[in-house]
Structures are given as structure tokens and as C-alpha cells.
Amino acid sequence: MPLTRRHFARRSALTGASVALAGSVGVLATAPGALGAELPQADPDDAADGTALGYGPLLPDPDGILALPAGFSYRIITRTGVTTLESGESTPSNHDGTGTFAGPRGTTLLVNNHELKGPRADWPHPVPLAEGLVYDPAAAGGCTVVEVAKDGTPVGEWVGIAGTSTNCAGGTTPWGTWLTCEENEDKAGDHGMTEDHGYVFEVDPHDRAAGRDPKPVKALGRYPHEAVVVDPKRGHLYLTEDAAGPNGLLYRWTPPKGFEHGRGRLRTLAEDAGVLAAPQCFDSGGRYVDDLSRATKVGTVYGVDWIEVPDRDARTVSVRKQFAAGEVTRARKLEGMWWADGGAYVVSSYAREESPGRHDGQVWFYDPRRRTLTLKIRFGVNPDPDRDGAFDGPDNISVSPYGGLIIAEDGEGLQHLLGATEDGRTYPLARNELNIGTADEPEFSEFTGPVFSPDGRTLFANIQEPGIMLAITGPWQRVGSGR
């Protein structure tokens, strides 16, 4: 039964569900039943005397890779052009979304996306075309699987899937596999491709044979995919789209009646199985909301109806362009997602002239039980991206086993890994010091794929360019909520 605008407005009036949560400060999503909260900027002036929130000020790295707080250290697990796969070929470049899994004998298995778009000839280090694991031999992207020993020693790296394009955030499944997402919608014949792209593929880090003869999960649609999460209770999948002209959409896929999830089950689905739908949001007054950037106050709550996608394989028209004005609610740069607290946390990285409102990042929470989207985090436009301590452009996110969120910054200027406490304050956890620009015009690549090891001892994260996977260890603890 759809949640109608009239019903949502009546329920809001009867229950006192306000458009803004009182105080806007609560607990960030880390434990069952926890709520998200606004992330006020940490005061960068505090960092000079070591009194900043979190683990203390970031200390410069003599090797010019990663600035960390005192007591923390990092290890390079893979590095494009330096480390090699089991085949002897270089680790592919442009690391992106990453998932971690408990491996054999206490090891950690990581599936690492490589965001490589277009023909293989355009990239010095594409994902190798491993026999039997290739979807489109013309495409450069894919995933590698990395094994790390319990003591942090890299054990090996091999191809999980090859011949895909622009593999971006992705997401893990409750049954222990990785869903890799193509942020691309090239058709066969475009840019030298021999197959259609814009799909989701499943990679099993525990079973190399399971990935043979890669097959896209066409039931999830063909569009510029970013991230995906799975509702373990209802079986729904939620997916983000990073696109513009018009802005992209959040999607929900409802499985067909009787379908049971499990390893390899998604690839058995018919192309039109289940229902793929996009959101139509409305405020507590029942008014239609065209774009999520219109929300400027943390705690804003929108009701959500789901509108079925007419042609999910986008044979003639891109999926996001198939809806008329007033049918769906859009957002700019819908990026990372994480499933926690019974719902999906969804990032809109920034909004500019292509959106009704301007911001430098939002994090929303979709509650499937209430069928609502609530604005948990909003970054105002950053006036000085080159200043340490000013944050913008949230992208990949994950939940920390020590409380709060870990956020990968993909904004202007300096790039950080951010921590967020349970009472809503932020602090820098790491800073990228690898300058891929010049001394006069420095440039720092974004962070991607922050995720803890299954035992919670190691935070893995990537510097996307040129492609470095890092393992960060230190005196992890719950950051205090007292001011």
C-alpha cells in the first residue's frame, strides 16, 4: 500500500512528526536504534594545540602519503605500478569502493573496485583479462580480490571480475559477496565497447570459480550505478545513481514473490524480475519535493512513495529521463550508502547550479518501515577547501565498530578521512599528503572505500589516484561524546 501524501501529512499532524528534529543533535548511526545527527565542523584552530576532537592533530608523514594522529600507523597493501597480482601483472589503478570479508585462517579478504572508464588502451594499468572472468574484453575496469594476513601482511591479489566499466562504490551482501556497480551507461558500439554497460555484477571473494562467465544482474537496471545495499529483512536492494542532466535517482528493487537471496542467486533472475522503482517524496504538508537539495535543515523528514521504472534496461532513453516533471525526486551526485540501524544511509555529495539548492554534502536515512527519508547531515558550501579542518564532498561512508561514521572526502582542495562522533561532531582521521599535481598547483586525490576489517582492528581505505590501498591501525576507541 503506497504512503500517500495525504496520509503522510495526516500522520505527521497526529503524531507531531516535525519537519525538523528538535535540537538537531543526537546519536550517529552505529548501533541498533541509533539516530543520525548533523555533523558540525570541527574547529581547525584547535588542531594546533592538540585539543581537537577525536584522536588529536594529524601529524605530517615524512613519506608524503598519509597524515595520521599520534599512535597511528599505516601500511601500503597494494600500489599501482609497484605491487603485482598473482599473474605478475600490476595492481590495476583507480581504487574505489571496497568490501571486507573474513577469510580462511584469520585472513581478511577485500574486494576492491577499479573505476576505469572507457577503452583499455586509455589506461596504463587496467584490470587484467583473466581467463573466464571477462565480461567485455574492450573495457578496462573490474575488481581485484586482496588477501591480507592476520598480522597485516599482504598475502596475494587476483582478479575477481574483468571487462567491466567504471566500477564505483558497490556494496556487500548479507550472504558474503560483493556487488560491483558500473557508473556508466555505454552501449555496445560506444567508445569501442562490445557489450552494453551500466549494470551490477556479483563477485564472490571466497569462490573464484563462481565468477566465471560474468553475467550482469539486469533486473537491477542499466544506468550509472554508484552504490548498493541490501535490506536483510525484506530482501529489497537500494541503489544510487551518480548522474546529471537531469540529476540522478535513488532506486529500490523489490524481489519477485518467492525469491530467496543467496550466493549466486541474483544472476539467475530474469531481466525483468521484481520491480525497480524511484522515489517520489513529499513534505509533511503533502507537497511534492522535486529535489533533495531543497532540504536545508537537519531533521527534515520526507514521506516516500515508489514509482516503477518504465524501461529498466534503458533501450532508448536513460532510466532517469523516463519520468515526467512531478513524478520523481532527484538529487545531485548520489554516492555512497551503508545499511545500518534498520535502514539505508544515502549520500548526496554536493549540489550546485544544476540543483534547486546549493550544499557541499548531505547524508539521508531511509527508514523502510516508516517509508521516510530524514536528513541527518548537511555540509554548507565550504568557503576555503584548501584549509585543513574544513570539510566538503562526502562520498563513500561506513559505520565504525567504535561508534560513529567514517566518511571519505571527495571535495575540493585537501582530502580527508573523517570521523563523526555519536553526538554529531566531526574530526579529521587522516589526510592525503600525496600531491599528484605540482608544487605551485597541488592536487590531492579523493579517498575511497573506507571499511573496517571484520575483527575491527584495521581500517582499510584507498587513495584513488594513482591507486593505493592502505591499512590503518592504532589505538582505536570510542571517541567521547562530552564536550
pTM above 0.85, yes or no: yes
The stretches of 242-311 forming alpha helices (DSSP H) are: none
Q: What is the rounded CA–CA span in Å between residue 465 and residue 25?
A: 36
Q: What percent of the chain has pLDDT over 90?
A: 76
Backbone angles phi, psi at 106, to 5 degrees: 80, 5
- Is the confidence at residue 38, as pLDDT, over 50? no
> Cell numbers 570541527 label which residue?
42
Residue with the larger pLDDT of the pair 425 and 231 = 231
Interval 207-239: pLDDT, tens: 999 999 999 999 999 999 999 999 999 999 999
pLDDT of residue 19: 30
- Please report, to the nearest 10 degrees, the dihedral formed by the alpha carbons of residues 222, 411, 230, 308 taken in order: -40
N-to-C CA span, the chain: 45
pLDDT of residue 7: 58
Burial of 398 (0-12, 13-18, 19+ CB in 10 A): buried
Q: In what order do the strands lie in the sheet with 405-409?
A: 66-67, 426-432, 416-420, 405-409, 394-399
pLDDT of residue 481: 54
Backbone angles phi, psi at 132, to 5 degrees: 85, -5
Q: How far is CA 428 from CA 301, 318, 376, 384, in A?
A: 29, 38, 19, 16
Among 2-6, 9-13, 34-38, 445-449, the range scoring the smallest mean pLDDT is 34-38
Q: What is the rounded CA–CA span in Å between residue 255 and residue 268?
A: 12
- Is the confidence at residue 37, as pLDDT, over 80? no
DSSP per position, 375-414: EEEEPPPPS-TTSTT----EEEEEE-TTSSEEEEE-SSSS
- Per the prediction, the chain carries an average pLDDT of 88
Average pLDDT, integer, range 124-150: 97
pLDDT of residue 9: 54
SS3 224: strand
| Three-point CA angle 446, 449, 455, nearest 5° | 140
Confidence grade of residue 376 (pLDDT, cut at 50, 70, 90)? confident
Q: What is the rounded CA–CA span in Å between residue 148 and residue 152?
A: 6
CB 282 within 8 A of CB 303: yes
Interval 82-94: pLDDT, tens: 999 999 999 999 9
- Is the confidence at residue 2, as pLDDT, over 90? no
SS3 193: coil
pLDDT of residue 45: 43
Confidence grade of residue 17 (pLDDT, cut at 50, 70, 90)? very low
- Is the confidence at residue 41, as pLDDT, over 80? no
pLDDT of residue 479: 81
Q: Which of 25-29, 78-82, 353-357 has the highest mean pLDDT?
A: 78-82
- In sequence order, which residues have a C-beta less than 8 Å from that of residue 335 and are 6 or more positions away? 169, 226, 227, 240, 242, 347, 348, 349, 394, 395, 396, 410
Structural domains in the chain, CATH included, are 73-473 (2.120.10.30)
pLDDT of residue 54: 87
Average pLDDT, integer, range 316-334: 96
Backbone angles phi, psi at 122, to 5 degrees: -80, -10
Residues written for the chain: 483
pLDDT of residue 107: 97
